[in-house]
Chains A and B, each alone.
Chain A
Amino acid sequence: MRTEQVDVAVVGGGPAGLAAALSAKESGAQHVLLIERGDTLGGILNQCIHDGFGTKLMGEALTGPEYARIFIDRLTDIGVSIKLDTMVLDISPERELVICSHDGLIRVKAGAIVLCTGCRERTRGAIRIPGTRPAGVFTAGVVQEYMNIRNLSVARKAVILGSGDIGLIMARRLTLEGVKVECVAEILPYPSGLARNIVQCLEDFGIPLHLSTTVVDIHGNDRVEGVTLAQIGPRGGVVRGTKSYVECDTLLLSVGLIPENELAKKAGIELSPVTAGPIVDDQFQTSIPGIFCGGNALQVHDLVDYASMESEKAGRSASTFADDGRLPSPIIKVLPGQGIRYVVPQEVSGNESVDFSMRVKSPETDRYIVFKRGEQVIRRMRQIELAPAAMIRMRVRSDRFQGSSDPLTVEVAD
């Protein structure tokens, strides 16, 4: 097997990988290699033809392909090596990758690695919907690719289960292409997608959103003929007398995303049971020195801008590590408290300001997000609307960490 030496290897050419490779190179790493499994860079952005990307990072609303193009052009100009159609088969804790490309198997020895492997959609199997197994049950992202990339017609009459952003976006997309979207059903008592998508994708087109409702049966043998919907009570059971049959030929599932971390597991990286991504410090370094992670592999984002921003940081850290191996050590743990589902990064050095990402457990109005050390409040920020669907970003300046290495907790408070 041939061996290649690189300073920074980035796994995955989606939005996170593009940002990580670009910033690693800009921070001084000589040889940056970007490895992508598919035949184009940009990842999921290529099929996200709707607009709204870049409002936080670039101050304008771009479509997915336009957002990706900005990074791809800069990356090509700056001289990042790119390998397309290339699969990473293995990663060792010593930062050796085995990759399979058109040039055969290659061993890549990397000074640092950034994992930007993205996420996968949860499927019917993951949520165990009873019923027959006909054609016509798709995840929303698959339908998005069929329609927007491959020019395939997927449905005439559809029901969408799950009010995640991709499901909402596809409700509009199907409607624009002449498909009748009967309704969106959401098992939770509140929407899983951003409020702007509820407005732009459902309300604009009069598509009903049924909360506390799910699909309890799928009908049809060769092709979906209909689904049975039912209301779900507060304890998770079907409310008696609420079952209704909806005729349709397609069921779209938008029921969550799972970070893709098979390679991280192979390398022995410690994963968080809550985010399903690696546990990282404020350099976005995982439990294995020199291996970093950003984007949806780390935590599922609702905005690509934030996936890019955190991966830029991961790329910079990787460049520093590859150069002299010296990064500040994490000494302060950051723990989710009352009302907070998770917070990333999970530990920080206290030497630098940190942009934390977090999600709340349930919708709240007019509350504060509070960082505490014991009973001492070190930072608080008012939040008008809090929803599990909307990731919160909050900067804590380095001077707020000073004076102690005791753990911090983050909570929702009055």
Chain B
Amino acid sequence: MNKGEIVCTVCPTSCLVHAKWDEEKLISIDRAQCKLAWEYISDEIFDPKRVVTTTVPTDAGRNPLVSVKTADPVPKDLVLDVMDVLAGVTAKVPVNAGDVVVANVLGTGISVVATSNSD
């Protein structure tokens, strides 16, 4: 059995969770202040994921950039690859928050969406 201390990053409380796990699954957690920690800690051990937030240039409009994010967390190993994909993307104005900027990024099934408006 493995054990370790993992910071839960679900919310800013940042609980330092004491976790125990085997090869396949999370066995127990201690010192977490809410229930959301279980799923996060389990993912963090077996399949860590992150939301990527960044900007892409707009083709025209008042602002040179529009902010974007992956609509769901992507595997942590792919964060820099998502950045590489977005390096070649320009958003056509008008863009509204929620608009898909890149669909199914890197075949993950996850879209990159705008988080602000640009016109």
Contacts and interface: CB of A to CB of B under 8 A. Distances in A.
Interface string B25-64: 0000001010000000000000000111111010000011
A136 interface: no
Contacts of A50: 53
Contacts, number: 86
A199 interface: yes
Given A49-B53, A384-B31, A196 B116 contact: no
Contacts of B16: 195, 384-385
| Interface range, A side | 20 to 34
A100 to B, nearest CB: 23
B100 interface: no
Given A56-B11, A63-B69, A195-B14, A151 B64 contact: yes
A38 interface: no
B97 A65 contact: yes
Given A63-B69, A199-B7, A199-B9, A151 B14 contact: no
B115 A66 contact: yes
Which 9 pairs between the two chains have the least Cβ-Cβ distance?
Answer: A195-B14, A65-B116, A49-B67, A196-B9, A151-B64, A55-B11, A196-B14, A63-B115, A199-B7
A49 B115 contact: yes
Interface of B: 7-16, 31, 33, 50-55, 57, 63-65, 67, 69, 76, 79-80, 83, 97, 115-117
A148 interface: yes
Given A52-B12, A65-B116, 19 more contacts: A51-B53, A55-B11, A55-B12, A148-B65, A148-B67, A150-B64, A176-B52, A176-B83, A194-B12, A195-B7, A196-B7, A196-B8, A198-B7, A200-B50, A303-B12, A384-B33, A385-B14, A385-B15, A390-B12
Main secondary structure of the interface of B (DSSP, over half): loop
A390 B15 CA distance: 12
Interface string A63-88: 10110010000000000000000000
A51 B57 contact: no
Nearest to B13: A390
Interface of A: 46, 49-52, 55-56, 61, 63, 65-66, 69, 147-151, 176-177, 194-196, 198-200, 204, 302-303, 384-385, 390
A55 B10 contact: yes
A42 B46 CA distance: 38
A151 B65 contact: yes
